[in-house]
């Protein structure tokens, strides 16, 4: 006859065995840290050794991992090529990678209700491929952790890239990853998200204008025009970027060029407008970082209903500010030296 104590031990053992037989993801338990492989090129992880080709290879691995998640979610493949650019610089690639990481965090929170927080670090003064690689690798680790929580195998590997890969090519493939992430997000970027980025761009431009004693006082926003659509916002932000390019050239700063084909896109969505707005903010942040001992403005969350017409109004205000800044820079081209 089995004693009561023996039965209790047997029950406990059975329950513990059942617990061990279940995947850890059933209890929200995963490895806290996932290590990623070193660059397939064999290059040392250092500022001197990492090349655009290493970054390209890591981004392509991120895209493979995202495609596994896309398949599991039953989402379509992105056919959008995104922004077409020429002459991308490391700092622009770096900010594209930061946008990628923000979207990965957002996707992780949507699917798991938890995610590592984004690190609020000042970007390096001299951005190199090494810094971009680190941001992309952070995104990769987040994605691998998400796959683990979803019970998906980690079987992808990094392919050896062309050693002649350019920063522009890296910018392009990060843009492809960003476009795919747009389709994976359960909650798409809204006009409110875009408005917050444009508002941040206006804050940066206000800070830059303070450099000049002859700069005009901030102008009020233009009148609200009803019935605007995302394409209108996209077109106006393209105008903003063109003026920003004029400012960069007058300041002897390298900045990428947007291809004219970017305007031939009638199917523009808020996601596309958001990506363009973040690019503009990144360029302004780069200019701002060249000013001595100046605190960077922070993103402010906006409240209330915000529609494409409100974004168009804000983008008009940003355009006016940038035009004023361009006039000042034409008179003082060495303002950042």
Q: So what's the pLDDT on residue 119?
A: 66
Question: Per-residue pLDDT tens for 74-115?
Answer: 999 998 877 889 999 999 999 999 999 999 999 999 999 886
Using CA of residue 261, residue 267, residue 273, residue 275, what is the dihedral sign? negative
Q: Exposed, middle or buried: residue 135 (CB in 10 Å: 0-12, 13-18, 19+)?
A: buried
Cα 125 from Cα 127, distance rounded (Å): 6
Question: Per-residue pLDDT tens for 199-240?
Answer: 999 999 999 999 999 999 888 999 999 999 999 999 999 999
Name 86's bridge partners. 257
Question: Per-residue pLDDT tens for 10-53?
Answer: 444 443 343 333 343 333 434 445 889 999 999 999 999 999 99
Question: Per-residue pLDDT tens for 134-177?
Answer: 999 999 999 999 999 999 999 999 999 899 999 999 999 999 99
Calculate what percentage of the chain has a pLDDT beyond 90: 73
Q: Which residue has the higher pLDDT, 6 or 267?
A: 267
End-to-end, the C-alpha distance of the chain in Å comes to 91
| Neighbour tally for 291: CB within 10 Å | 14
Cα 91 from Cα 290, distance rounded (Å): 13
Q: So what's the pLDDT on residue 281?
A: 96
């Amino acid at each position: 006859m089995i004693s009561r104590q023996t039965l209790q031990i047997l029950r406990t053992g059975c329950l513990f065995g059942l617990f061990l037989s279940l995947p850890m993801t059933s209890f929200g338990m995963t490895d806290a840290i996932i290590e990623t492989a070193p660059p397939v090129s064999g290059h040392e992880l250092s500022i001197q050794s990492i090349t655009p080709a290493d970054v390209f290879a890591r981004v392509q691995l991120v895209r493979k991992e995202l495609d596994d998640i896309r398949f599991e979610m039953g989402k379509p493949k992105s056919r959008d090529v995104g922004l077409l650019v020429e002459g991308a610089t490391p700092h622009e690639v770096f900010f594209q990678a930061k946008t990628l990481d923000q979207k990965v965090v957002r996707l992780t929170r949507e699917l798991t209700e938890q995610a590592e927080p984004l690190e609020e670090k000042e970007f390096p003064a001299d951005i190199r491929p090494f810094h971009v690689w680190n941001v992309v690798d952070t995104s990769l680790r987040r994605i691998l952790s998400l796959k683990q929580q979803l019970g998906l195998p980690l079987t992808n590997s990094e392919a050896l890239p062309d050693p002649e890969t350019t920063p522009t090519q890296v910018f392009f493939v990060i843009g492809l990853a960003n476009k795919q992430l747009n389709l994976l997000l359960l909650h798409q970027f809204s006009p409110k998200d875009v408005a917050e980025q444009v508002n941040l761009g206006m804050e940066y431009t206000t800070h830059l204008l303070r450099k000049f004693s002859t700069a005009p006082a901030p102008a009020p926003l233009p009148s609200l025009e009803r019935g605007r659509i995302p394409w209108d916002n996209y077109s106006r932000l393209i105008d903003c970027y063109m003026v920003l390019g004029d400012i960069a050239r007058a300041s002897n700063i390298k900045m990428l060029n947007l291809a004219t084909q970017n305007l031939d896109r009638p199917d523009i969505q808020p996601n596309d407008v958001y990506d363009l707005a973040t690019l503009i903010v990144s360029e302004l942040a780069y200019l701002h970082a060249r000013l001595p001992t100046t605190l960077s403005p922070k993103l402010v969350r906006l409240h209330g209903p915000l529609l494409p017409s409100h974004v168009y109004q804000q983008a008009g205000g940003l355009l006016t500010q940038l035009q004023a800044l361009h006039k000042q820079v034409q008179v003082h081209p060495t303002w950042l030296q």
